[in-house]
Amino acid sequence: MNLHLAVWLLLCLIWGSTWIFIKLGLDHWPPFTFAGLRFLLAAIILWVIVLLRGDKLPNTRREWLLIAWLGLISFGLSFGLVFWGENRISSGLTAVLQSVIPAFGLLLAHYYLPNERITVAKLQGVALGIAGIVVIFADQVKLGGASAAAGSAAIVVSAFLVAYTNVVVKLRCGHLQVVPLVAGQVTFGCVPLLALGFFTEGSPLDLRRTPQAVGSLIYLAVVGSVVALLLYYWLIKRVDVTKTMLISLVTPVVALLIGWLVRGEAVSWRLALGSAAILSGISLIVMPRERR
């Protein structure tokens, strides 16, 4: 197994597990404050790493504005929608809906990245993955009603924002060092989340610090943010961005299994069939024709 594949699989496992920790934290803390605290803690850790390593910081106003823009979109707005949406649907369904990222990414990469054009195999693979999502989505929204529909829509919008920022990072941030790039984005992203949480949910100092909430926060900040983001941005610079975004097609399978084991979230035949379609779609994209 080569290093790129090992990192890819590790990210599937990490991000597949984050959805259940988000759900566990949301049992005790409101969504915007919880998301803001996650990235505040992650930002502190990342800047400590930058200082210890002596990494070179971006040195132009244009670079800092780009990092701020990406941070506001990919962490502030995107994860605000994720935490708000998952407060209304299951952790498994959240991960499934996030798996539309490659579909958006495929179109954006074709337009912005000359070396990552759409091919028949990519289209077939993404279509099969989306079909799997539709199979799962129809059943879950029917069970959850209007609230679930609103939460699901928020997750899909978040998925588009993630795909957009991934393509921009690949296109315009290749010359920047990974740790300062991630630290800057997380810092700019946590500010609006904390501000929105303060004005709509109350002071974070008033939160009831239960072991479940604090443990979820630490896991999401350290493993789900610091470790995962550094690995992901390292991977983006070395493989096609459309392949890195395929991680979001595997995480639903992991998330659904963990949600079933930890919280007893329902796993129906629709979930099994949809997950199989998603994995089949990935094989069409990443495997050479002779191996398929």
Interval 60-99: pLDDT, tens:
999 999 999 999 998 999 988 988 988 888 776 777 777 7
Q: In the chain, what's the furthest Cα-to-Cα distance?
A: 59
Residues of the domain holding 34:
3-286
What is residue 249's predicted lDDT score, i.e. its pLDDT? 72
User: Considering only 14-18, 148-152, 155-159, which range has the smallest mean pLDDT?
Assistant: 148-152
For the chain, percent of residues with pLDDT exceeding 90: 34
Domain presence at residue 78: yes
Task: Write phi, then psi, for 99 (nearest 5 degrees).
Answer: -75, 0
pLDDT of residue 4: 84
Mean pLDDT across 37-54: 95
Residue 11 maps to a domain = yes
Contact present, 53 and 240 (Cβ < 8 Å): no
pLDDT at 290: 47
Asked if residue 292 is part of any domain, the answer here is: no
The reply to whether 214 falls in a domain is: yes
Q: Which of 164-168, 181-185, 246-250 has the lowest mean pLDDT?
A: 246-250
pLDDT digits (tens, 9 = 90+) for 238-269: 887 767 877 877 777 787 777 777 766 666 67
- More confident site: 244 or 11: 11
Contacts of 204 (CB under 8 A, 6+ apart): 33, 36, 37, 194, 197, 198
In a domain, 205, yes or no: yes
State pTM to two decimals.
0.80
Establish if 32 belongs to a structural domain. yes
pLDDT at 78: 92
Q: 79-104: buried (b, 16+ CB within 10 Å) or exposed (e) per residue?
A: bbbbbbbbbbbbbbbbbbbbbbbbbb
Asked if residue 48 belongs to a domain, the reply is yes
- The answer to the question of residue 291 being in a domain is no
**178-201 vs 31-53: helix axis angle to the nearest 10?**
150
**Reported confidence tier of residue 287, pLDDT bands at 50, 70, 90:** low
Q: What pLDDT does residue 246 have? A: 74
Domain count, the chain: 1
Does residue 291 carry a pLDDT above 60? no
